Structure 1
Amino acid sequence: MPRSPAEPSPQPRSQLTPEDWIRAARNLLVSRSVDAVRVEVLAKEMSVTRGSFYWHFKDRDDLLHRMLMAWRDEATEQIIYRFERRGLPPRELIRDLLSLPFRGEAAQEAASTELAIRAWARRDERVRQILDEVDAKRLSYIAQCFSALGFGIAEARGRAFALYSYELSESLLANQGTAAQKEERKALMERLLLAPA
C-alpha cells in the first residue's frame, strides 16, 4: 500500500560500528565488571540482536581484546602524541601532567575506566601484561620529561614514579578533599618534583 505524502517514512536504523560495541562494553566494564561484558547483555543494552555483534567481532574474546587495545591507544599513545604536538617546555609539560586528574568529566571517565581495567588485570594475566606495558610506557615518557630538565637517569625515573603514583592516587581518592585541598596537593607535588636534586 503506498504511503500518503503526509505519512513519514520509517527511518532506517543506523548501523552500529565496532566502536559502538567497544564503548558499550567499556561502560559495562566500568559499571559492573568484566564478567558482565557478554554479547547477550550488550545486545540487550543496545536494543539490537546478537547477530549484529558478529558482523564486527569473532567472539567475546575478540571484543575484550579490541576494547583493551583501544583503551591502551587512547590512554597512552594518543595522550603522549597530544602532549608532544603542543611542544611545551619540559617544566610546563610536567605541570600539565600533574593537572591530568583534574580535567573534569573526561578525567573522571578515564579514571573510572582505568580502575576497572586494573581490577580486571588482577584476574587476567593477558590484561596484566598490557597494563604493565602501559605503565612502563607512561613512566618512560615522564622520566624523559625530567631528564630534559637535567636530572640524571635514576633521579628522573624516581621523580617520574612519584608523579605517576600521585596521578593514580588522585584517581583512586578522587572524593578526598575539597577543590582547594586538591590544588594544595598538586602545588606541593609540583614543588617537590621540580625542586633541584
Structure 2
Amino acid sequence: MGATRTPRGRWIEQGLRMLAAGGPEAVRIEPIAQALGVTKGGFYGYFKNRDALLTEILDTWERETTEALIERVESEGGDARTRLDRLFTLVAAPDVPVTGTAADLAIRDWARRDEQVARRLQRVDDRRMDYLRLLFGGICEDEEDVEVRSLLAFTLRIGNSLVAARHGERTRADVLELTRQWLLR
C-alpha cells in the first residue's frame, strides 16, 4: 500500500497560517512541509512553485472571507437587520479560521508592496463594501447613513485585528457588541 498523500488543502491552510504569522516572506515550502510533518516532495504534486501556492492562498482567503461568508449569511435568510446581526456574529466569533483577520492584515501589508495583490485586495474590499451597503440599505433609507454605517462596519472588521484584547475593563467582545448595537439601532 502506498504512502498517504498530504491533501492539497492542508498545504494551503498551513501556507495561510504562515502568511498570517509572518507575511508572504514566511510562506516557504520547506517550513510548510516541516509543519505538516512531511517532505517537500509532495508539494510539487500539487503546485508548480511557490508563486502557485501564493496564488492559491489568496484564492482561498478571498473565497472564505468574502464569498463563503456572504453565502453563509444569505443561506439562513431573514431581513437585512437579521443578516447584519448574523454577519457581525460570524466575523466576531472567537474561532474565526486562519483565513480571517490575521491573514487580512498580512495581505493588506503585502498589497502595499505588490500591485497584483493590491488589485485583488481592492476587489475584495469593494465586494465587502457592496454587501454592507446592500444590508444597511435594508434598514436605512438615507444613502449617506448607509454609507457611514457601511464604512464603520468595514473599518471595524479591519480594525478588529488591531484591537488590543482589552480596552480598559472592556474585552474585545464587549467592544464589538457595543459597536454592533450602535450600528443596528
What is the TM-score when the length of structure 1 is the normalising length?
A: 0.81
**Superimposed CA distance per residue, residues 89-144 of structure 1 (whole angstroms, 9 cap, x where no aligned partner):** 11122223333443112268622222222222222111111111111101100100
Q: Deviations over 1:54-112 (max 9, x none)?
A: 11111111110011001100000000001011102111222233334431122686222
Which residue does 2:43 correspond to in 1? 53
Q: List 4+ stretches of structure 1 deviating above 6 A.
A: none
The RMSD of aligned alpha carbons is: 2.4
Cα distance, 1:29–1:171 mapped onto 2, change above 3 Å: same
Gaps of 5+ in 1: 1-10
Question: Corresponding residue for 1:7?
Answer: none
**CA deviations over 1:24-81 (Å, ceiling 9, x no partner):** 1112112222112122332333333332111111111111001100110000000000
Q: 2 CA distance for matches of 1:179 and 1:109?
A: 29
Determine which of 150, 156, 159 is the counterpart of 1:160. Answer: 150
Name the residue aligned to 2:86: 96
In 2, Cα distance between equivalents of 1:147 and 1:187: 21
CA apart distance, 1:193: 2.7
Residues 106 and 182 (structure 1 numbering): CA distance in 2 closer, same or farther, change over 3 Å?
closer
Q: Is 1:44 aligned to residue 34 of structure 2?
A: yes
**Aligned partners of 1:179 and 1:103: how far apart in 2?**
20
2:127 corresponds to 1:137:
yes
CA contact (8 A) 2:16 2:98 kept: no
Report matched runs for 1:16-27 at 5 Å: 16-27=6-17
Distance 1:179 1:168, change over 3 A: farther
Whose RCO is larger (CA < 8 A, sep 6+)?
A: 2
Normalized against structure 2, the TM-score is what?
0.86
CA contact (8 A) 1:100 1:167 kept: no
Percent identical: 30
Q: 1:72 to 1:146 in 2, by over 3 A?
A: same
Counterpart in the other structure of 1:15: 5
1:112 aligned residue? 102
Residues 1:70 and 2:60 aligned together: yes
